[in-house]
Amino acid sequence: MNVIVKPKEAVLDPQGNAVRDAMRHLGMPEVRSVRIGKYLEIDVAGEDTDLEKRLHGLCRDLLSNPVIEEYELQKAAVEDQRKTPNVQRPTLNVQLRKAKTRKKK
């Protein structure tokens, strides 16, 4: 599974703004915006029926800050399950977005 965590659109991204400004300064005035986030590859064993639900819970509670960040959980292609060093692996972009609001327990 692949997880992409990035700031919500409504949240300022000062690190992204600094990179954008540096890119413009280094000769790329066309760059309009940059958003900085995190990319995680998670190798899981098995086909547990509630695996996806538990991964969403981990993304929400551990890997992202739901107040200022959103995440995408992507299922990797079957070939991606084998670890081949220095080879670009294709991913099947099945994006599972978390709900916009979080219910209190």
Tens digit of each residue's pLDDT (9 = 90 or more) over 13-29: 999 999 999 999 999 99
Confidence (pTM): 0.64
Segment 66-86, tens digit of pLDDT: 999 999 999 876 544 455 455
Q: pLDDT-derived band of residue 103, with 50, 70 and 90 as boundaries? A: very low
Contact (CB, 8 A) for 83 and 90? no
Q: What is the DSSP letter of 61?
A: I
Which residues on adjacent β-strands are paired with residue 69? 7
Q: For residue 73, what are its two tokens? A: 């959980």
% of the chain at pLDDT higher than 90: 57
**Amino acid making up residue 42:** I
Which residues on adjacent β-strands are paired with residue 96? 73
- The pLDDT score that the predictor gives to residue 48 is 76
Task: Give me the domains of the chain, ranges plus CATH numbers.
Answer: 2-10+37-97 (3.30.1280)
- Could you tell me which of 34, 30, 41, 43 has the C-alpha nearest to residue 6? 34
Q: pLDDT-derived band of residue 52, with 50, 70 and 90 as boundaries? A: confident
Q: For residue 46, what are its two tokens? A: 């098995």
Backbone angles phi, psi at 21, to 5 degrees: -65, -40
86 phi-psi bin (left φ>0, alpha ψ -120 to 50, beta other): left
